[in-house]
Amino acid sequence: MNRYPRDMHGYGPNPPNANWPGGAHVAVQFVLNYEEGGENNILHGDAASEAFLVDVLGAAPWPGQRHANVESMYEYGSRAGFWRLHRLFTETKIPVTIYGVATALMRAPAQLAAMQDAGWEIASHGLKWVQHKDMPPEEERAQIAEAVRLHTIATGSRPLGWYTGRSSLNTVDLVADYGGFAYISDTYDDDLPYWKLIHGRPQLIIPYSLSTNDMRFVTGPGFDNGEEYFTFLKDTFDCLYAEGQAGSPKMMSLGLHCRLVGQPGRFQGLKKFVEYIKGFDKVWIPTRLDIARHWAEHHPYSAPDAIPSEMEREDFVTRYGSIFEHSHWIADRAWETELSPANDTAIGLHFALRNQFRMATPEERLAVLRAHPDLAGKLAAAKRLTADSTAEQASAGLDALTDAERERFTALNTAYVEKFGFPFIIAVRDNTKATILGAFEKRINNSAEEEFATACAQVERIALLRLEAILP
């Protein structure tokens, strides 16, 4: 099967109403990444020093060496930055989700105790704060298991949330396969949680964000100061709050780092934002686990009846072969194409089928036109129409014509076929008996080229209406 694995559709134009508690217009979620002591370091058995997310311009890993400046910046996060952030969130009574690197938590007894005393959620941020993109799946699988083991020892319970961050293409699937996670956050692809079917089992995904992440203080284009940071956070909040007021509540994720926004000048921007959102009502400030539990309760996974892009050829053609009247070859060719989750809706699958119709030869398209029955013709009278055609003609009252109306349709059908060589085709579900007769009388005066194009467009419209009846 030629399948494109990325989901470029998501919820599409009609996302579900999040139904946040209290009718909140937006859920604002604060994540504090605790990585200090889990970063690359030859003391930790790594090949080189750390170089990521630090205030060292042009930092690069030093193979076989420790980097004193980088180490001390990470140490600032644990020694000073963490406690500044801890005071802010405990004094304002804002719940926080910790993304805790397991080996970092094992080196942070005081900070871990403070997190737990505050009642914060502690999710897993992996075993070590290292890059996973080139890690073999078996090694990454082992690291996931060890991260959970150490996390459980350090905190007293296994993590229910997961975010690797420096992830591989295998991360989400491997974590889902490990099991037991209420959510996984190694995606940045939406403003709402969603369910993903992974190896036959549903897994809740709660997307994260790097646009509102304080890492942009040390990556470009980024924030130069706390005021720029506050402005961006405020604009993000204002946009999402307005969307929620209009009936489409979303989620805002803030990613924080002890060594970054824990610095005084940057911290002031965060503090200003916290004070800003405290001035609004209908704002829910949960942990990510709170969001996961809410979503599971209010938007539980519902297995679709059929997923077009995942069907085998025979089932696909059987199910969708009649969308274009008596022309199963269109569905057969569509199955061969690069189908993806974007083709699992009525619009998406119509796009795939319609493209095959448009790429067909003129003779093949003419055969599709000729496969359609006359409107209110002999096949209808003999009850030999397809089920779709029968329902469609009935929807416009063409199954209950007067004698005069039937005579008029018969005369028009005969004249039309004699002129164009195929039956008159119109999406009857868009019309009434009167508008169909009007279109009939108007279109019979078209040129052959004009009417061929018009009839093909109507065939495509009929196909879309048929798909909308059976797919989202």
| Cα dihedral across residues 105, 106, 107, 111: positive or negative | positive
Dihedral of the alpha carbons of 46, 49, 52, 58, in degrees to the nearest 10: -150
Which ranges constitute the DSSP H helices of 99-184? Answer: 102-105, 109-117, 137-155, 171-178
Does the annotation count 372 as an active-site position? yes
Judge contact between 82 and 259, C-beta under 8 A.
Answer: no
d(C-alpha 357, C-alpha 463), whole Å: 11
Q: How far is CA 13 from CA 304, 445, 472, in A?
A: 19, 39, 12
d(C-alpha 294, C-alpha 27), whole Å: 11
The tokens describing 310, both together, are: 């995942």
Contacts for 242 with CB less than 8 Å, ≥ 6 apart: none
Judge contact between 354 and 460, C-beta under 8 A.
Answer: yes
| Cα dihedral across residues 319, 320, 321, 325: positive or negative | positive
Q: Where does residue 114 rank: exposed (0-12), middle (13-18), buried (19+ CB within 10 A)?
A: middle
Judge contact between 463 and 365, C-beta under 8 A.
Answer: no
Backbone φ and ψ for 247, nearest 5 degrees, come out as 105, 10
Burial 432-450 (b: 16+ CB within 10 A, else e): ebeebbeebeebeeeeeee
End-to-end Cα, the chain, rounded Å: 23
The residues that are catalytic are 372
